[in-house]
Structure 1
C-alpha cells in the first residue's frame, strides 16, 4: 500500500490516538502520534507532517499552541492544523477559527467527513508546497513565506449564491453588518452573473439536498476565472455525507448546521488571507519565470530563451520542411564607446540598438542579447533572399541615425556586423536538434568574423555546410 502523506495525531487520551491511527492507516496514511505540547517542536521537525490532527486541549496546552509551534518550523508554516473537539460546541468552534486553526471537527464524526476534510486540506497544502518549490527557496527574492506581511485585499469581493432571493438578501445583510466586504448575492439559477463579472475572491454557496448544488462547486472549481476562488459551502444540517461530497467537489470549507454569520466571516478571513499568500506566490513565480528569459538591460530575450526558441524553430522546420535563418550581430567598435564615453553611455547604446533591431525584425522571429554587445536572431520559415533582406534591414536600422548618449548631449554613429547561416532541409536527428543548432551557430559566428574582417557594417552569409 502506498503512503499518501504523514499525519501527526496529538491527544492526551491514548484510546483516541489509537482509534484515529486505525482510521487513518486504513486510508493508507502514515500516522505519527504525540500526547502533549512538550517535545512537539522536535517531533514536528523530525517527522515533517503534512497535516496535524489535535485535541482541543492537551495535558499542557491547547490546539492554538500547537498551531504556534508548527508556524515556527521553516517549511511547515502552512501545514494545516485541525482541531478535534469533544462535543458540538459552536462557541468552541468559533474560538478555534479565531485562533487561526484550519478547521474544527466534533465527536462523534464519521470517517467519511474526516477523510474528506483531510483530502481537501492536503490538496491545498500540496498546492502551496508546489508554489514554494517552484519559486525557489530564497536568495533570488521571491517566494518568501512571510504570511504576516502579505495582506488580503481590504475590500475582498465575496459573492453569495442562494436558491431564493429572500435567503440571499438575509445573508448579505447579516455579513455586511459585521464586516466590510464587497458583497453581492446571486441566485444559483443565474450562475452566469457570477462568471461574467469581476472575479470574486470568495463565493459562499447554499447547499441543499439537490445534486446540482454540489455540481455548482465542481463547475466553479474547474473554470479558469474561479479556479483559485475560495469556495465555502453552507449546509442547513450536519449531513456528513453531503459535507464530504462538497469538500471532494472543491469546497475549501463547509459550515454545518445552517447559516452562522460569525463562522462564515471567520472562515472567509482565514481562507482569503491564505488565498492572498498563494496569489502572491503565483505572481512571484510568473515574474521569476519571465525574468529568467529576459535580459534586464535591454528587455530583449536572453541566451537561454534564444536556445530554447531555436530548438522549437528547428523542430518545426523538420516537421514542415521549411528553412530558417540563424544570425549573430555584433556592434562594431563598441569597446571604444565605453572607453571614450563611459559604461553608462554604452548601456544607452545597447538599449537603443535593441529597440532598433526589434523594430526592424518585427514579428518575423526573435532577437536576443546573448552577451556584451552581441545579439542572436532567429527567423523561421524564411527563404535565403528574405533572410538576407532582414539582415540588411538590421544593419540599416543601426547605422541609419546617430545614437543619443545623454539628454541633449553628444551623439555617436554606430554600425553592426551580421553573420548569417541558413538551415535548409531537415536536420539529421529530429528528436535531438541540439547538435544541428550548435553547428548553425558556429557557422553564423564564422560568418560574423568574416564580416568584421571585411570591414564591418555588413552582412556575411556562410555558404558551406554547417
Structure 2
C-alpha cells in the first residue's frame, strides 16, 4: 500500500479516532493515534507527522496546547495543526483560529471535504519542505540558522473579489474596520484591475455553485504571477462538495456559511503569516545559491561558477559555430604587495582589480576569481582579435592607473599578466565538437606562464587545445 503521509489523530474519544483512521487509511495515509496531551512530545518525535488533527478539547488540554507543542520542535514548525470543533459552533471555530490553529473542521464532516482539506494542507507543507533538507529546519545546502517564524507583514495587500461591486464594497468596509492590511475591491467579471497592477499578497474571493469562481481559483493558482498569492474562498452556505472542489482547485482556506469578517480576518492573518515565512525562506535560499557562486571578497564569481559557465560557453560554441575565448589572469608580484602592505592592503588590491576587470569585460562575458590572485575571464561569441583587444585593454587599465590604498600615502603600481586561448570558428575540425575544458585551461595556463616568463605585464596567446 502506498502511504502518502503520516497523520497524527488526537482525540479523547476512541470512536472519533477510529472513524478518522478509517477515513484516512482508505485514502492511503498512515495514521498514528493519541488521546491526550501527556506524552505528546515523545509521540511527535517518534511519529514525525506531516499533519495533526486534534479535537479542540482533550482530557488534559486543548488544541491550542497541541499547536504550541508542535511549534516547539524546530523540525515540525511547518506541520499544520487542525482543530476539530462541534458543528455549527462558530465561536469555537473563531477561538481556534485566534489561537493560531491552521484550520478548524466542524464535526461531523464528509469524507470528500476532509480529504480535500488534508490534500491542501499537505501540498502547502510540501512546498515548505522543498526549501529544506529532509526534516532539517534550514535552507538547502547552507549552514545559517532557520529564519524565525514571522508575523504577518504590516502592509500586505489584500484584494476582495466578488460577483457584484456592491458585495465587494460591503466586504471591504467590514474588513477595513479592524485590519491593518491595504484593501482593494474587484469583481469577478473584470479582473483587469486586479492583474494589471501590483499582485496582491492575498485574495478573498466569492465562490458560488457555478464554475466561474472555481475556474478562476485554478487559473490564479496556475499563473506565475499569482501562484504564491494566498487564496481564501468564501461560500454562501455549508456546501461541503463545493468547498472540496474549491480546495482542490487551489484555495488555501475556505470560509463556509457566508461572509464573516471576523473569520476572514483570522484566516488572513494565519495565511499571510505563513506566506511571509515561506517567502523569507525562499529569498534566503536564493541568496544562498547566489552566494555559493560568488567570491565574498571581490564580489566576482568563484571557481565553481567559472567552470560551469565555461563549459556552457564551449557547448554553445560547438552548436553555433561561433568563436569563444578564455583568459587566465594573474596579478604580478602580488606576494610583494602582501608583504609590504599586509593582507588588508592585498585585499584592497584584489577588490580594485576585480572592479577594473568587470569594467573591461562588461557584458561580453564573465570574470571569476579562481585562486588567491588568479582570475578567469570567459567570452562567448567572439573572435581572437576582439578577445585580444579586451585583454590588452585590461593590461592598460592596470598599468596606467596605480592603485590607491587606505594606509598608503603613495599609489601602488600593479600590473597583470594574461594567458589567452581562443577558438577558431571557421576551423571545420572544431565545429559541432565541444573543446575539452581541461585541455583548454591547461593551454591558457601555459600561455599565462609564457607571459610571466617574458617579463609580465603582457598578454600571450596560445592555440586552442582541440
- Settle same-fold status: TM greater than 0.5: yes
Partner of 2:373: 373
CA distance in 2 between partners of 1:258 and 1:390 (Å): 68
Task: From the superposition, tell whether residues 85 and 151 of structure 1 become closer, same or farther in structure 2 (CA, over 3 Å).
Answer: closer
Residue 140 of structure 1 pairs with residue 143 of structure 2: yes
Report if aligned partners of 2:422, 2:464 keep a CA contact under 8 Å in 1: no
Question: What pairs up with 1:175-254 in 2 under 5 angstroms?
Answer: 175-254=175-254
Alignment of 1:146-185 (within 5 A): 146-147=148-149, 150-185=150-185
Q: Are 1:323 and 2:326 matched, yes or no?
A: no
1:398-438 Cα shifts (integer Å, max 9, x gaps): 1121111128932011110001223446999989x6x9111
1:111 paired to 2:95: no
1:160-197 deviation digits (Å, cap 9, x = unpaired): 01111211111111111122321111111111111112
Residue 8 of structure 2 aligns to a residue whose secondary structure is strand
1:155 is paired with a residue whose SS is coil
* CA gap 1:464/1:120 in 2 versus in 1, 3 angstroms: closer
Distance 2:156 2:382 in 1: 51
TM-score normalised per structure 2: 0.94
Cα deviation per residue 1:339-388 (whole Å; 9 max; x = unaligned)? 22222222222122111111111222111111111100111222222222
Counterpart CA distance in 1 for 2:43 and 2:430 is 57
- Asked whether the 8 Å contact 2:439–2:465 carries over to 1, the reply is no
Match of 2:36 in 1: 36
SS at match of 1:366: strand
User: Can you give the 5+ residue segments of structure 2 that lack an aligned partner in the other structure?
Assistant: none
Q: Which moved more, 1:175-184 or 1:244-253?
A: 175-184
Asked if structure 2 preserves the Cα contact closer than 8 Å seen for 1:113 and 1:240, the reply is yes
How many residues align? The count is: 461
Give the Cα–Cα distance (whole angstroms) in 2 for the partners of residues 400 and 368 of structure 1.
Answer: 23
Shift of 1:314: 1.2
CA-atom RMSD in angstroms: 2.1
Where in structure 1 are there 5+ consecutive unaligned residues? none
1:25-424 to 2 correspondences below 5 Å: 25-133=25-133, 136=139, 140-141=143-144, 144-147=146-149, 150-406=150-406, 409-424=409-424
Q: Following the alignment from structure 1 to structure 2, what is the Cα–Cα distance between the partners of residues 465 and 71?
A: 58
Deviations 1:99-123 (A, max 9, x none): 1111111122101110010010001
Structure 1 residue 313: deviation in Å? Answer: 0.7
**1:442-463 CA deviation, whole Å, 9 max, x = no partner?**
1111111111011001111223
- Summarize the Cα distance change of 1:284–1:316 in structure 2 as closer, same or farther, 3 Å threshold: same
TM-score between the two structures when normalised by the length of structure 1:
0.94
Hey, what does 1:456 align to over in structure 2?
A: 456
2:140/2:285 contact within 8 Å kept: no
